[in-house]
Amino acid sequence: MTIQPRRITLDEWDIRYIELLGQGMVEPSYGGPLRRHVVDGGDTRLLKLRYDDSAAALRLWNFLLTEDDRLREARERGKLLIGTMKDLGTVPVMAYSGPNVVAFYPDGAWWIPCMMEMSAGLLSIASSLGLDETFCPVRAMIGAFVTQAHFPIPDLLTCSVGATCDDFSAIAQRLEGLGYPILWWEIPSRRKPDAGEEAITLPGGFTAPASQVAFVRSELERVRTAIADLSGSPLDDGALKEGIHAANRIRRILRELRTLAFTAPICPIPALEMLIAEMLAIHFCSDRDEAAAVLGQLLDVVRTRVEAGVGVLPAEAVRVFWVNPVADLRVMNLLEDCGGRVCGTEYLFSHALDDIPEDLPPMEALARMALADPMVGSAADRARRVVNDARGFGAEAVLISRIPGASHCAYEGAVIGEAIKSELGLPVVEIEVPPIADALMPTLTTRIEALMEIRRN
Amino acid sequence: MVSVGVDAGSRAIKIVLFDVDSREVVASGIVAQGVQCNDLANDLLRDLIERSGLGTGDIHRVIATGYARNMIDFADTTVTEITCHARGVYHVAPDAATVVEIGGQDSKLLRLGRNGGVRDFSMNDRCAAGTGRFLEVVADRLGVVLDQLGPMAARSQTPASISSTCIVFAETEIIGLLSTGISPDDIVAGVQNSIATRIAAMAGRKVAAPVVFTGGVAIVPGMDRALESALGRPVSIAPNPQFTGALGAAIIAAA
């Protein structure tokens, strides 16, 4: 007998946790009831979310919410910590290829204001340092560096710069000004090869001139040297190949998870858990092997549900393709409360879900992967990928979520929206989601419900 | 039998009774929004039913719309004001391609498809500077009532330029303009232009005609002309523009 999965509240999770323990649930060392993150960690937003009720989802949440503990334990065990800023999915692959190194993503602090409902004061600290609300909420990261309460200060900080967000560049420069040295590596704006230039097809299908790939490779070589210098042992091609292979393993799990979750007739897993799962592709949440195990368990649950034809939402839920991650996680619940389901995503790092070529020299493969980042090309390029993916997943509507203050969001939404309308004829709605969107819930609800009505009418 | 549309908006509650068979409006009423939204709507509905010589047994179905739609406990279901305004406008102006709705605290631009369905929409609801609330603030600041704004704007020879993007700062700006001798007429015209310009920006470069103007602000004289100028398209005001959302809800309820 297959039990009908449900979306449940934190109160219901308290009961469900005891139930699962009674059924013999075995938890990893970071396991425990979800509520402890409210009590011990101050993550009060958890009280307002709805969750998948599986043990796999619980493990996913616990894995996410214990990253700080994991990093501090790693340091105590003598591991070296690298903060890989801005880069979405390339330098972490390199760092985990080195011995005795743990990489993490300080930018992930952008969710702390949401999770702690502003109680950590990170945005206020950022504002006091000149990074006010006209900047992307990722400015919370600088507050986390100041308080040192959310992650340990890394031994090495890297940051991609160039064709990345203006906001982030400014925030990272301010961070460096506060006394945190940064290894900057440049990523150029991806362009189409000119006539006569050697063209290289990147993972995901974009093309770039060979000269740009060579340039990025040379920049990543500097990162390789820095990682080797930090760890005291060379980061050779063999180690990088192993690192790429391990990263691809996670990417493949995620691709299968996405395909199953987004194409199943009945939605097998909520949008919120899928968002968290996808994020693991870019940084592994400070433990690459455990990330693979967490995602593997989630995939098993989703596969079982799809085979049994059960899910967490009604079969008639409108299939929505979601563009950009949200600063307030509650909005992922809202889509489902309004009668939708996520059937495809482009959270700014779709390249990190593609395989890194394993038949190329590793640094060449990584350079191509870095240049495939949707954020370093034109908005039209990104729109093309969204159109293709939305078509592939059979989307019935598209929701574009703007991040307030984020420079890349200011204009990309319109370009992507127009491409969707003209090429797929699907209804599109654009919303803006601040870190705490409670005051906007009525208007966000109206917009999302209207999108559902347009589709159904 | 009548169907009932309740538009529980941010500034007022509007109700329309719609004859399911003849497909005509039987009665309509409006009351200012308040804390006891559900009670206010209930009282208004009871009054309309009584005045129409009907009983509660004559009600086929009730649909609530508007920001407070979920507070109307006697509604059978809710539908967004986006869908309801589109359906209401389609009933009174079947050729409409674009609907501009400016309410008390938000504004919307709807692009209609076939049969009054919404193809696409844009909304401004983060800032009151593109809404009817701006006009209320200006009227209050100038010591006039809303009805006077139209004639004042019509007398303006040189509309003032209102540059503030926030209604609070705009109020300060208005005080500054008055102190420099700008006439109240020019200020009112400037504010109307400012609201219309925001709508035009929301519309982007593609505004299909015919454009129908609805919502509470459509009854403010002069706003239609300001919109025409900003959109570069003729704009017609929907009959009883305050009731278009409630009408649409009633029509959907009649189905």
Check if A421 contacts B (Cβ < 8 Å): yes
Peptide bond just before B94 cis, omega within 30 deg: no
Of residues A168, A200, A137, the one with CA closest to residue A371: A200
Q: Which residue type does B143 have? A: G
- In A, which residues are within 8 Å of B84 by CB distance? none
Q: Which of A322-326, A347-351, A444-448, B199-203 has the lowest mean pLDDT?
A: B199-203
In this prediction, residue B210 carries a pLDDT of 96
Tokens of A294: 């967490």
- The verdict on whether omega for the bond into residue A314 sits within 30 degrees of 0, i.e. cis, is no
Share of chain B above pLDDT 70, in %: 98
pLDDT of B150: 86
- Distance CA(B16)–CA(A360), nearest Å, equals 69
Local confidence band at B124 (pLDDT 50, 70, 90 cut-offs):
confident
Please give the Cα distance from B161 to B150 (Å, whole number). Answer: 17
Tokens found for residue A449: 């419900």
Average pLDDT on A49-68 reads 98
Query: Strand A101-104 and strand A397-402: pairing?
Result: unpaired
Question: Taking CB atoms and an 8 Å cutoff, what residues of chain A touch B120?
Answer: 421, 427-428, 454
Sign of CA dihedral B232, B233, B238, B243: negative
pLDDT in tens, A116-150: 999 989 999 999 999 999 899 999 999 999 999 99
B90 pLDDT more than 90:
yes
pLDDT, tens only, B146-177: 889 888 998 999 999 887 667 777 788 888 89
Would you call A443 and B117 a contact, using CB atoms and an 8 Å cutoff?
A: no
pLDDT at residue B182 in the model: 93
Residue B126 pLDDT class (50, 70, 90 cuts): low
Residue B237: count of CB within 10 angstroms of its CB: 18
The pLDDT of residue B165: 66
Q: Strands, E, within A165-323: which ranges?
A: 183-187, 199-201, 207-209, 318-323
Least confident piece of the model among B23-32, B36-45, B122-131: B122-131
User: What is this model's ipTM?
Assistant: 0.90
Using CA coordinates, name the residue in chain B closest to A457. Answer: B117
Cβ-contact A348, A386 below 8 angstroms: no
- The three-class DSSP label of residue A320 is strand
pLDDT recorded at residue B221: 85
Query: Closest approach of chain B CAs to the CA of A416, in angstroms?
Result: 14
A457 and chain B in contact, CB less than 8 A = yes
Region A342-352 average pLDDT = 94
The pLDDT > 90 percentage for chain A reads 91
Q: To the nearest whole number, what is the mean pLDDT of chain A? A: 95
Q: Convert the pLDDT of each residue in A143-197 to its tens digit.
A: 999 999 999 999 999 999 988 888 889 999 999 999 999 999 999 999 999 999 9
Taking CB atoms and an 8 Å cutoff, what residues of chain B touch A337? none
**A425 touching chain B per CB within 8 A:** no
Alpha carbon dihedral B138, B140, B142, B145, in 10-degree steps, equals 100
Length of chain A as a residue count = 457
Who among B120, B125, B204 is closest to A427 (CB)? B120
What are the chain A neighbours of B82 within 8 Å (beta carbons)? 446, 450, 453
Relative to beta strand B25-32, strand A199-201 is unpaired
Angle between helices A288-308 and A271-283 (to 10 degrees): 150
Span A377-390, mean pLDDT?
A: 94
Ordered by where they begin, the domains of chain B are 2-89+243-253 (3.30.420.40), 95-237 (3.30.420.40)
Residue A56: C-alpha distances to residues A18, A63, B27 (Å)? 15, 10, 56
Q: Which of B83, B120, B204 sits opposite A457 (nearest CB)?
A: B83
pLDDT in tens, A242-260: 999 999 999 999 999 999 9
Q: Would you say residue B125 has pLDDT above 90?
A: no
Average pLDDT on B227-254 reads 96
Least confident of A126-130, A326-330, B32-36: B32-36
Q: Within an 8 Å CB–CB cutoff, is residue A442 touching chain B?
A: yes
Mutate to test the interface with B, among A428, A453, A455, A456 (most CBs of B within 10 A): A453
Answer for the pair B185, B152: CB distance below 8 angstroms, yes or no.
yes
Return left, alpha or beta for A190; rule: phi > 0 is left, psi -120 to 50 is alpha, else beta: beta
Q: Return the structure tokens found at A201.
A: 């097809």
| CA of A433 vs chain B CAs: smallest distance (Å) | 11
